[in-house]
Chain A
Amino acid sequence: MWRYIAQRFLVSIPVVIMVGIITFTLVYVGPGDPAAIIAGDEATPEILEAIREDLGFNRSFPVQMGDWFWKLAHGDLGTSYFSKREITELITPRLQPTLSLGFQVVVISTIIGITTGMLAAWKAGTRLDRNLMVLAVLGFATPGFWLAFLTIWVFAVNLGWFPVIGYSPIQDGLFKHLHSLFLPVMVNSILASAFISRITRSAMLEVLREDYIRTARAKGASEFSVFLRHAFRPSAIPVATVIGASIAGLATGFVLTETIFAIPGLGRMLVDAIVRRDYPIIQALLMVVAIVLIGVNLIIDILYAYIDPRIRY
């Protein structure tokens, strides 16, 4: 197993490098000029040129990319064009809101998604199954921004149960922290659990049609045992995959959620950076997210081997 993990880790390194090259190239060729934004309407060509020189835009593409990779290899994510601060310094305070939001959403959506998916599979064809799947379809067909505004209007403005804004860090109290993130967690969990629920149901139904399930039932195993011991574990492979894919979806979904709920996380930081064409921040954040996703994939690969011992790489 350790050899397998090491292999997977080593394979991830060229993937990270490729992501870095693609990210840098896309940002480089994308439209927008931070120097023009900084310069303002009154800028003369001389001022614009001086800003470009100051930001290092006058260097060739390979030189800029090489410089970026060299710094990255040394743990230096660069400096923001606008705030002139180290990006690691800017990212650090933003990690907690995003990670906490992500952790809560993954846990809650997994619990809700798997539970409802299993229930639907168990009661396949019944009214309960149909109702749950209608809710699931509604869940992933509902636009995230609309659901976010709806929850704000209902639970914050009208009922006053939860705050609209005002992220509270964990160190200020766990309850306060959870309370401040309740609405964004709810919105993202609804969207993510709908997907997990659908996949869990279909995976369970597929497994439940297998011969060995019929055999288990014929041997007199209880439905509970058939479901949890015999059916759920084989179904867990696609479910684990979907949870991993959901995390990728969350990474982009948080851009929207953090913007609407004014959460000072990485998603909003990315939007602000794109708006200003603050290239070092965009590149750094995309690299961070890519590395997180590669890490999630690595974990899922390991989970595969644990869930299904037949899987060996």
Chain B
Amino acid sequence: MSSEQKRLIMNRVRYRGLILLLIASVAMIVTACSSDPVVETVIQTVIVAEKGDTITVVATPTATLEERTLATADAKKGGHLRVASVGSVQSFDPLWTTASSTGNVSSMILEGLFAYKEDNTIGKMLIDDWKVSSDGLKWTFKIREGVEFHNGISLTTDQVIGTLRRQSERAPVFKLVWEQFGPTSFDEFITKDSDLEFSMNLTGSTGLVLDALGPQNFAPQMVLSAWYSLPATESAEGTPIGTGPYRFESWTPGDRWSAIPFANYSPSTEASDGESGAHTAFFDRVSYIEIPDQATRIAALQTDAVDLVQEFSQDLIDRVKADSNLQLIANPPLRLLGHFNYQIPPFNDPEHGRDLRRAVVMAYDNEKALLAAAGTPDRINLCASLMECGSAWENNAGSENMYNAKRIEDAKKIVKDAGYEGYTIRLMDPADRQPAHGAAQVTREVLEDIGFNVDLRVMDWATMVQDRATVDRWEFFHTWSGRSVRIGPIGHLRFGELQYEAWFNQYSDTDGIQRKSFETFASETDPAKINAAMDEFQQYFYDDAIFLQVGEFFSNWAASNQIEGLHGNPGGQKPYDKWFK
């Protein structure tokens, strides 16, 4: 072989590298994993720490607030809490995105007007007091005096109203109250009375006023004018400035960000209770470290490189259990769902669509799908109730013979009689999201068993997020969401008023029953009547098969057993009111 020939061959080899890079990049775009699904407000938490073979309850939901308050009295300040966070933080603006990596900002830097107490009721945060007019149509709120932002600016109603205005299109409960019970103009709806007082002016009474100002997706957390003057669709630049117990310290993009105690923090006069009340920043520094790989997160925890790990996969639980220096934390359950496309056949068929949706629901093997999603029986909860199992809203109306019923033959007959036997269902399968991916495999079996053909479209989450927005690209997909106790179905993303306008589902509610139920929820203040409405709605949910309720599954956190103060209620895993032994 001549040297010239060799050179030509070598040139081919070299440029092959460039071509390979381009091919690899395209492949990654197609297959890479994607952004976090929306995480709704987290309410109920169960924490169990397991050391070796001995299960030790660190703090249970039954532990009283008084007991924890007493324990806090012995707490000492100091130390550096290192948290292995989920996802890479791209924006510090939780008013713009619900990404969980950004949500960590809400945990300690920004504060809202109200926050959840441990018993899931609404507690005061930046609000000092309020009064209601005799007709219930004017609510006047007074904010706490002496609260400072981290840059020294005092909190006034200017920032409160500005923040509410920015979130008015995105915070679902606030939007609902404004649209259904408020005047058209925002300036008439929320008015400034003084630097420390503002009013919410209603045209009809509702029991959701405090919830509208409280925790929810895109919750109004107080920010300065540089942020609240931005459109709701635009991310704020720079780093967060709030009124919380910790203030932002530094950010190394792609690696970590940290916060340190805010010296001029003005705590509430009320005792700490869940996420509300007076908080204490015990740690000298809190760092959120980006560790994308789940196995590496646990290895980092085992080698004392971090102290707390936010989420990891089921197959790593045994490693955590086997390490006597770690505690296992079971997170609040998540709700696994399946959505029908209401815009195209077969599920929008005016004559048969409802029956076909019911056929899918009645044939479904919920237990198998939950196991495929979560891995082991102890991480799932077969829960037919639309709202939280164990909450005041739990009920099973309408679910008999519909939930986990596995009525394949009945469903098969429905599909055949409707003339859709052999009809192809495009099932989107986000392979990089195990809960949805696992459920999709079971859904494929069920759909085929009842007579449909299935076109299983394997993709990554980001592609699915795009495709579900395009009406004619799918018939069914799975996703999951968090839970919401306090604001009930109104605050639940899947039932919210916004669902009608949202681009991925557009449930038609042709007979108006859902809207009627929601109006009852929103305007009623009598718990008995609210529960009766819930029963009615739950029955309707299964009759109409609005979507597929698969059930609940649990994700995991793990922590060093040197951390004290973790507990199972709202606020239990936030960095405030926790300390090292």
Contacts and interface: CB of A to CB of B under 8 A. Distances in A.
Interface stretch (A66-74, A186-194, A255-263): A255-263
Contact of B32 (A149, A156, A252, A271): A271
B90 A165 contact: no
A117 to B, nearest CB: 17
A31 B292 CA distance: 23
Given A163-B305, A262-B293, A272-B88, A31 B466 contact: yes
Nearest to A271: B32
A33 B35 CA distance: 11
Interface in B521-572: none
Contact of B172 (A42, A93, A156, A252): A42
Contacts of B6: 237-238
A172 interface: no
A37 B502 contact: no
Contacts of B16: 245, 248
Contacts of A249: 17, 20
Contact of B217 (A42, A48, A238, A247): A42
Given A165-B296, A268-B292, A293-B18, A275 B90 contact: no
Contacts of B469: 33, 36, 48
Contacts of B91: 82-84
B25 interface: yes
A45 B34 CA distance: 22
A237 B14 CA distance: 12
A156 B34 contact: no
B382 interface: no
Contacts of A22: 22
A78 B3 CA distance: 44
Contact of A165 (B217, B305, B466): B305
Contact of B233 (A54, A93, A268, A289): A54
Interface in A83-120: 83-85, 90, 93-94
B13 A245 contact: yes
A153 interface: yes
Interface in A257-313: 259-262, 264-265, 268-272, 274-278, 282, 286, 289-290, 293-294, 297, 300, 304, 308, 310-311
A241 B7 CA distance: 9
B79 interface: no
Contacts of A211: none
A85 B93 CA distance: 13
A275 B86 CA distance: 13
Nearest to B253: A90
Nearest to B479: A41
Interface string B245-265: 000000011110000000000
Contact of B463 (A23, A32, A156, A242): A32
B30 interface: yes
A262 B291 contact: yes
Contacts of A80: 90
B71 interface: no
Contact of B29 (A160, A274, A304): A274
Given A272-B254, A277-B462, A82 B90 contact: yes
A308 B2 CA distance: 12
B215 to A, nearest CB: 15
B300 A165 contact: yes
B18 A26 contact: no
A289 B17 CA distance: 11
B35 A42 contact: no
A27 interface: yes
Given A41-B38, A259-B292, A30 B24 contact: no
A192 to B, nearest CB: 13
A26 B25 contact: yes
A24 to B, nearest CB: 12
Nearest to B102: A82
A43 B466 contact: no
A51 interface: yes
B462 A276 contact: yes
Contacts of B22: 19, 22-23, 26, 286
A166 interface: yes
Given A44-B503, A264-B253, A264-B254, A51 B15 contact: no
Nearest to B172: A42
B291 A40 contact: no
Interface stretch (B104-112, B133-141, B493-501): B493-501
A262 B299 contact: no
B132 interface: no
Nearest to A246: B17
Nearest to B169: A47
A11 to B, nearest CB: 12
A163 B253 contact: no
B203 to A, nearest CB: 23
Contacts of A160: 303
B252 A262 contact: no
Contacts of A290: 18, 21
Contact of A30 (B26, B34, B502): B26
B25 A42 contact: no
Nearest to A27: B29
B466 A304 contact: no
Contacts of B234: 54
B504 interface: yes
Contacts of A277: 462
Contact of B35 (A165, A241, A275): A275
Contacts of B35: 37, 275-276
B165 interface: no
Interface in A212-249: 237-238, 241-242, 244-245, 247-249
B14 A264 contact: no
B498 A42 contact: yes
Interface string B74-101: 0000000000000010110000111000
Contacts of B96: 38
A199 to B, nearest CB: 10
A167 interface: yes
10 closest Cβ contacts across the A-B interface?
Answer: A248-B17, A82-B90, A264-B255, A33-B466, A264-B254, A241-B10, A31-B463, A32-B462, A44-B501, A262-B291
26 contacts: A26-B25, A30-B29, A31-B466, A36-B469, A37-B465, A39-B233, A40-B98, A42-B170, A84-B235, A90-B253, A94-B253, A157-B302, A165-B289, A165-B300, A237-B6, A245-B17, A248-B17, A252-B20, A261-B296, A262-B290, A264-B255, A274-B29, A276-B34, A282-B25, A286-B22, A310-B3
Given A26-B22, A165-B289, A241-B10, 12 more contacts: A30-B26, A40-B97, A44-B502, A47-B232, A48-B503, A149-B295, A156-B299, A237-B10, A242-B13, A248-B20, A252-B24, A308-B3
